[in-house]
A and B are shown apart, each in its own frame.
Chain A
Amino acid sequence: MSGRGEVRFEDIIKMHGEFAALKGVNFEIKPGEFFALLGPSGSGKSTTLRILAGLDAPTAGHVYIDGKDVTSVDARDRDIAMVFQSYALYPHMTVADNIAFPLEMANMPRAKIGPAVVDAARKVKIDHLLDRKPGQLSGGQQQRCALARAIVRKARLFLLDEPLSNLDAKLRLETRAELKKLQRSLGVTAVYVTHDQEEAMTLADRMAVFMAGEIQQVGTPAEVFAKPNSIEIAGFIGNPPMNLLPARYINGDITIGGRWLKTTAQLAGERDVIVGLRPSALRIVADGINGKVDLIEDLGDSAILDIDCSGTQIRARVNHDNVPREGDAIAIAARPQDIHLFDPTTRKRL
């Protein structure tokens, strides 16, 4: 599939009256990539997907697919398949007719449509349901039907708008894994919109994190997790999210709760910073930041501690064999390389 499904957004702006839904969005998607658009609701990720699909027109900027400017090309001429959050199945048609619809619209000969439909249905394991109507299917089956309708045409781009959000938790995990396998086996470029960072982290090869109509960071999930480039992303990615604490930085060291911690930062002089500490990066140590355990949330294999460090609340995630009791006085610390520093004014990573 090389060279098919390459996407480039160039300075895309979308205004809804006075409100800027997208404030100049730039990114690139490589062919065959599983690319996630991640962000809280209202951040512009769905608008971005709709502009890519051709369902909305940008106010300014250009969209390129496979090097061609498609900004003013109709949705139906873009050769894009999409799975909607609501699935948008055609309720008056059988599953087979639903899956066949894009092929019919492409004027594929009847003799070829039948086998193609069965093939797509088999890939998502609904080939025994072809005669049913969507109303007779469970939520999971409807979702698979929508997937089959999207993959049957072998479009160059495969868009998914929160496709798992209407499934229950167990089914969501199963489908998530199958979706990844499906995308790999088809070798198709997939663009996936979600507000669920776990979905984005597990599925995506790369992702763009949206905040308030702008892309704050593009990178692999590992990169974004390891080096969030703004306070907003640091607070959004990771579960539970990063502890963000105001602190004083002096020549490579920071002070929290009266204790000095070493960092790997190479900044000169002295300044105010926001320190980011992942709950999972904190260790219980003999000598560190002193605090009292307020609350313990037991997750079975690990536990989340709410620790009161002389007025500053810090959350830590510890192994199950290492859990203190509520009310215990403990000390915590983090390795220098696990300490993130942010500028309190620009809110960017230092």
Chain B
Amino acid sequence: MSARRVRMFALIAISLVFLLAWAFPIVWSVLNSLKTDPDVLAYPPKLIFSPTLDAYRDVLFGSGSILPNLVSSIVISVGTTIVTMLMAIPAAYALARLRFRGKKFAGFYVLATQMLPPVGIIIPYFLVLRNIGWIDTYQGIILIYLSFSLPFAIWLLVSYFEDIPFEMEEAAYLDGASRLRTLRRIIIPQVRGGIAVTVVFVFLNAWNEFLFAVVLSGNTVRPVTVAMFNFVSVEQTLWAKLAAVSVLAMLPVVALGVVAQKHIVKGLTVGAVKGGGRR
């Protein structure tokens, strides 16, 4: 075997190890969701079993159906994402472009809010929401999610806005466009990739959030992450159902990722200005 082939096999072997580590949780969830509870607990683990959709039927249409929780999660995540983007895009543009006093500080402050450990602020948040009667409401949870998704989204988007040459904006002004129209027609279409990435991350964070949700939600608004926890109790863990809900909860995010992928790749490939940059 030539040295080149040895090296190739070594690379493939190393890649396979990483692939396994990466794929294991997903494969494990999918397999367990298709088993019966005795099969899940069988030792040694059964690789060959008769697959069943019982767990899915139970979690979707059984007595403790998670459908309302999926709806809650969708409302919370979509709401958080929309409000975040509506506020983050103009804010990031301002931070990237406009010169104003305290710009540096504002940029740092945006990031600094990310440094606070969530556990430290959960009780104050709870008290504030209780005082205004927003516990167990969509607006309450979305408001709290905004407090960490917004800084993150702004921080992520600023670099995308900064990459757009200033001359392009000046060209638009001279072509007769207002600042708002320039933003809408010239700037935003070019940061599409960055916006797609940000949407995915914000949605994902809101979708998978558990800590705040478990404290601030109730019987009316209960996202799927909190509902899942019902399958874990002191006496037993309902592994098959837990796995089935996990797989179901993964689907919307995967779908979003697939849709966003197209824009992310496109965002990276457009050619822009020749000669480059600002003088």
**Residues of chain B at interface, number, CB under 8 A:** 28
Q: Which stretch (A100-108, A197-205, A328-336) binds chain B? A: A100-108
CB distance from B271 to the nearest CB of A (A): 3
Let me know if B175 and A55 touch, CB within 8 A: no
B176: which A residues are within 8 A, CB to CB?
Answer: 76, 102, 105-106, 153
Report A-chain residues with C-beta under 8 Å of the C-beta of B106. Answer: none
Check B168–A88 contact: CB distance below 8 A: yes
Whether A166 contacts B275 by the Cβ 8 Å rule is: yes
A225 within 8 A of B: no
**Distance from B185 Cβ to chain A, minimum over Cβ atoms (Å):** 8
By a CB distance below 8 angstroms, the chain B residues around A55 are: 170, 173-174
Contact present for A88 and B165 (CB under 8 Å)? yes
B174 touches A91 (CB 8 A): no
Please tell me if B270 contacts chain A, counting CB pairs below 8 Å: yes
B248 contacts chain A at the CB level, 8 A cutoff: no
Q: Which of A68-94 contact B (CB under 8 A)?
A: 74-76, 78, 80-82, 84-92
Residues of A within 8 A of B172 (CB): 90, 101
For the complex, give the distance between the alpha carbons of A88 and B182 in Å: 13
Out of B186, B269, B275, which one reaches A85, CB within 8 Å?
B275
- Chain A residues near B173 (CB-CB < 8 A): 54-55, 74-76
Question: With an 8 A cutoff between CB atoms, is A142 at the interface?
Answer: yes
Q: Which residues of A contact B279 (CB under 8 A)?
A: 46, 85
| B101 smallest CB distance to A (angstroms) | 16
Say yes or no: B170 contacts A84, CB within 8 Å. Answer: yes
Query: Of A13-21, A132-140, A184-192, A257-265, which stretch is located at the interface?
Result: A132-140
Given contacts A75-B173, A91-B272, A149-B175, A84 and B167 within 8 Å (CB-CB): yes
Also in contact, A91 and B175, with CB within 8 A (given A46-B279, A55-B170, A135-B270): no
Whether B274 is near chain A, meaning CB under 8 Å from some CB there, is yes
Is B57 engaged at the interface, CB distance under 8 Å to the other chain?
Answer: no
Q: Are B275 and A80 in contact (CB under 8 A)?
A: no
Cβ-defined partner of A88 (8 Å) among B170, B178, B181, B189: B170
Residues of A contacting B272 with CB < 8 Å?
89, 91, 134-135
Cα distance A270–B271 when bound, in Å? 65
Minimum distance in angstroms from B191 CB to a CB of chain A = 10
User: Taking the complex as formed, is B276 at the interface, i.e. its CB lies under 8 A from any CB of chain A?
Assistant: yes
B270 is contacted by which of A53, A91, A142 (Cβ under 8 Å)?
A91
> Would you call B273 an interface residue if the criterion is a C-beta within 8 Å of the partner chain's C-beta atoms?
yes
Who on chain A is nearest to B170 by CB? A55
Contact between B186 and A86 (Cβ–Cβ < 8 Å)? no
Contact in complex: A91, B274 (CB < 8 Å): no
Which A residues lie within 8 Å of B177 (CB)? 76, 101, 105
Chain A residues 127 to 153 lying within 8 A of chain B, measured CB to CB, are: 133-136, 139, 142, 149, 153
- Contacts A82-B171, A102-B176; A87 near B274 (Cβ below 8 A): yes
Q: Answer whether residue B190 sits at the interface, using C-beta atoms and an 8 A cutoff.
A: yes
| A80 cross-chain contacts in B, Cβ below 8 A | 174
Interface residues of B in 190-206 (CB under 8 A from A): 190, 192
B107 shortest CB reach to chain A, Å: 22
* Minimal beta-carbon separation of B18 from chain A (angstroms): 35
- A48–B177 Cα distance when bound, in Å, is 22
Bound-complex Cα distance A101 to B273 (A): 17
**Chain B residues near A91 (CB-CB < 8 A):** 190, 270-273
Complex: how many Å from CA A54 to CA B176? 12
10 closest cross-chain pairs (CB), A and B: A135-B271, A105-B176, A88-B171, A102-B175, A88-B167, A86-B273, A91-B272, A166-B275, A92-B189, A75-B173
Can you give 5 contacting A-B residue pairs, CB < 8 Å? Answer: A81-B175, A88-B171, A134-B271, A134-B272, A166-B274
Give me 11 other A-B pairs in contact (C-beta within 8 A), A76-B177, A88-B168, A153-B175 excluded: A75-B170, A75-B174, A76-B176, A85-B275, A86-B165, A86-B273, A86-B275, A88-B165, A101-B172, A134-B272, A166-B274
